[in-house]
Amino acid sequence: MVTTVEHDIHRQRRNAVARFFSTASIRQLEPIIQATMSRLLERLEETAQASSPPVPIHHIFKACTSDVINKYAFGESFGFMERADFGKCYFDATYMFFGLNHIMIFFPCFATLMQKTPGWFIKAIIPNLAELVDKKSWWIDRVREIGNFPNPERIKSTIFEGILNSNLPAADKTDARLASEAQLVIFAGEGITALALTAAMYEILANPPVLERLKAELCTAVPDENSEVICLHPGVMNRQMRVPASQPVICQDKNGSGREYVVPAGFLVSMSPLCLYLNPDVYEDPYEFRPQRWIDNPQLGRAFLGFSRGTRSFVGMNLAHREMAIILGTLFRRYDLYHGKPGRTLELYDTERARDFDANFDMIIPVPAKGSKGVRIRVRN
């Protein structure tokens, strides 16, 4: 769906998926999110021992969001929240896959070769991709199973039951295309949301005044304003591409030179989200974590592209918002910042923003510096 260039075909493919991410559909999914959230709390409590190692919170968030999106897509999940390592081997494989995507962007023939190479051969030459290959086979098996044994009761409650029973042409319901669509839905549903959650966890714990105000507001309501963490740490780094179809794009030099730049119609225009979010002309002191800026200046919403815009916007936006609201709201109602006092608390452990969370590499997703162990926390009870 994402790589479909032709507008009408893209709209048709997107519509088959989009209805499962409407506000009403996500509201019906809430019991699954709540159940997974309860298990997340239980697993955090298990780590609240003095002898327990620090928690790699990103893996836990990815396990949580992965179980939710797989359950929604196929009616069953991998059960990462039950695994001792929270599915680390699988997520390590996805990171390697995104690294290969960096090559595929510049050498598309390599992408075609990877798609046509048998899974057993990929596992033989790149063992670290083995679990991802197995999961892709699982997705294909689930799609075939749904196609061969449709369940009318689940057409409205699971994504691929709905797609296979939609008005899409038969060519769009082949194993190969739906396997790619499954990979897209799962990667987006687990990775982007988990990264935003990790960003929020780091920034809130690293800024006690923000946490104090958040906890005060949580006494009465769970806020949905998560835009700030998505700006400072966007879930997708690659350039968002657009082609002005009929009219040129005209840009004025803001330095007072009077110079004008014209991009003719039909030419591709692209920009990484960070170019916008770290622009001081748009966001004052852009590197600072300052959620209040969205309240002080509501016009900033016009410059927010965290979920892209228009017909190419992130189809899972409503699900991401709901997961973030439930998970962050629940965690920060229950836990406070550690100050050496007893009680349920969280504390950042040997985590530096520039080293462990800022984008050092663009592998479609942002990747921190080499050797980083990511955002880690101490859980105390």
Q: Say if 33 falls within a structural domain.
A: yes
Among 18-32, 237-251, 276-290, name the one with the lowest average pLDDT: 237-251
Burial class, 5, CB count within 10 angstroms (exposed 0-12 / middle 13-18 / buried 19+): exposed
pLDDT of residue 238 exceeding 80? no
Q: Say if 129 falls within a structural domain.
A: yes
Determine the Cα angle at 185 with ends 184 and 187, to 5°: 65
Q: Say if 268 falls within a structural domain.
A: no
Q: Say if 244 falls within a structural domain.
A: no
Determine the Cα angle at 73 with ends 72 and 79, to 5°: 70
pLDDT of residue 3 exceeding 60? yes
Q: Say if 342 falls within a structural domain.
A: yes
Q: Say if 255 falls within a structural domain.
A: no
* Each residue's pLDDT tens digit, 117-168: 888 999 999 999 999 899 888 888 888 888 787 777 776 778 888 888 888 8
Report the domain count for the chain: 1
What pLDDT is stored for residue 315 in this prediction? 85
Q: Quote the domain boundaries for residue 157.
A: 17-236+305-380
Helix (H) or strand (E) holding 115: helix 108-116
What pLDDT is stored for residue 226 in this prediction? 42
Reported pTM? 0.83
pLDDT of residue 205 exceeding 90? yes
At residue 87, the 3 state secondary structure works out as: coil
List phi, psi (to 5°) of 367: -125, 130
* Each residue's pLDDT tens digit, 50-69: 677 899 999 899 999 999 99
Share of the chain above pLDDT 90, in %: 21
Q: Say if 153 falls within a structural domain.
A: yes
Confidence of residue 222 (pLDDT cuts 50, 70, 90): very low
CATH number of the domain bearing residue 219: 1.10.630.10
Q: Say if 263 falls within a structural domain.
A: no
Share of the chain above pLDDT 70, in %: 94
